[in-house]
Amino acid sequence: MAANVGVMNIALNAVEERADELAALGESNEKLGRLDDSTAKILRDTGVIKMLQPAEYGGAEAHPRDFAETVMRVASLDGATGWVAGIVGVHPWEMAMCDAGVQEQIWGADDETWIASPYAPMGILKPVDGGYIFNGRWQFSSGTDHCQWIFLGAFLGDENGERLMPPQSYHVILPRSDYTIVEDSWDVVGLRGTGSKDVIVKDAFIPSERAVPFSTMMDGSALAASGRTNPTYAVPFTTIFPLGITSAVIGIAEGALAHHMAYQRSRVQVTGTKVTDDPYVLFAISAAAEEIKASRTALLDNVTRIFDKVAAGESITFNERAASRRTQVAAAWRAVRAMDEVVARSGGNGMRMDNPIQRFWRDGHMGLAHAIHVPGSVFHATALTDLDVVPPPGPMLSMI
């Protein structure tokens, strides 16, 4: 079954119907330090988190472009909600290629079950009979209060629990009963409503089928073993995982612009000049709007091009993966820079805590700080691949 862009995006239409509710819940999310239960219910009702979930478990198996556009729209209404949609919404894509029995454990009784992360390898798997003993502590588990399972990054250890060299990275799947969420561990300047708390695992037993070598996601062997034929699942991990995060950042910039425009329509500056009569502010607004639109277009065109290639049975080269990451990172930075231009022209009242502009501004900068948006190694690696240094050395290979 192929995912077709251009067909009706049911989830996006459902989001539009609940847009006012999602926007109104933004302040509550921030005060709670996690998504309000009502916000999570809307995400469930609209089907956003299940867009990349397998059809046999009630999912849409959507085109990644449709997923990205939906995340952008949610984030334009509230940054924290869009962020959780973009991250938690990617996890069903990976789970679709994991062990079939594990999928049934998670979704068999309730296909609305959400899966958290993070993937950062902050734990160690110690081999034992039938599986592993697992320990570690992770930060930044977005939306974790509303999830009943989790993917956690790990390195493979030896019989003493010491990391093997060279490092071997795993994604480990655990039920809520096997990890502890650390309350009061999420006190940050932006994206406060995401509830991206720390989690701790202490001596959990992990059956072998719930420890997934990350290499199998990267080299396509997990997809081959799953038997899935929808090209959505053939899009590289390093394209699909950043997609949800960057879509949220672009949507946040769109939200900041929308609130700025609503605020400026009737604003009179301290000089007595209406904003609608100030050519300098009007120029900045238009320039920023085009930059944000360019970021959206670049990200959507990028994932569509990758999808079209895998749908045609073509492989994605390392060079193409690197260029894809460059486009994704650049799109996030371009959108946030443009957002800064309009926020800087919102006046002092734009920074009052009862004005949503400042929340979008804080959320956008927090989103840009995610490791997936760090440009240095990505741009370095992409330049080297363009100069035929393939693959580039050392850590620059990470997440390409």
The stretch 135-149 carries a mean pLDDT of 98
Would you state the pLDDT for residue 5?
A: 57
Would you state the pLDDT for residue 275?
A: 79
Measured CA to CA in angstroms, residue 222 lies from 53, 99, 309, 365 at distances of 16, 9, 19, 34
Would you state the pLDDT for residue 347?
A: 86
Q: 150-178: per-residue pLDDT in tens?
A: 999 999 999 999 999 999 999 999 999 99
Segments making up each domain of the chain, as ranges? 10-112, 115-214, 235-397
Q: 87-123: per-residue pLDDT in tens?
A: 999 999 999 999 999 999 999 999 999 999 999 999 9
Would you state the pLDDT for residue 3?
A: 62
Q: Which fold has domain 115-214?
A: Butyryl-CoA Dehydrogenase, subunit A; domain 2 (2.40.110)
Percentage of the chain exceeding pLDDT 90: 88
Q: How confident is the model at residue 391 (pLDDT cuts 50, 70, 90)?
A: confident
The stretch 321-341 carries a mean pLDDT of 97
Q: 57-79: per-residue pLDDT in tens?
A: 999 999 999 999 999 999 999 99
Residue 269 has pLDDT above 60, yes or no: yes
The class level of CATH for 235-397 reads mainly alpha
CATH number of the 10-112 domain = 1.10.540.10
Q: How confident is the model at residue 354 (pLDDT cuts 50, 70, 90)?
A: very high
The stretch 304-317 carries a mean pLDDT of 97
* Mean pLDDT, rounded, of the chain: 95
Q: How confident is the model at residue 270 (pLDDT cuts 50, 70, 90)?
A: confident
Would you state the pLDDT for residue 265?
A: 83
Would you state the pLDDT for residue 1?
A: 46
Instruction: Look at residues 71, 70, 92, 84 and name the one whose alpha carbon lies nearest to residue 36.
Output: 84
Q: 230-252: per-residue pLDDT in tens?
A: 999 999 999 999 999 999 999 99
Q: 277-286: per-residue pLDDT in tens?
A: 788 889 999 9
The listed range with the strongest mean pLDDT (47-56, 342-351, 390-399) is 47-56
Q: Measured between alpha carbons, how far is 382 from 254 in angstroms, rounded to an integer?
A: 28
Would you state the pLDDT for residue 273?
A: 80
The stretch 297-320 carries a mean pLDDT of 97
Would you state the pLDDT for residue 355?
A: 92
Percentage of the chain exceeding pLDDT 70: 98
Residue 4 has pLDDT above 70, yes or no: no
Would you state the pLDDT for residue 274?
A: 86
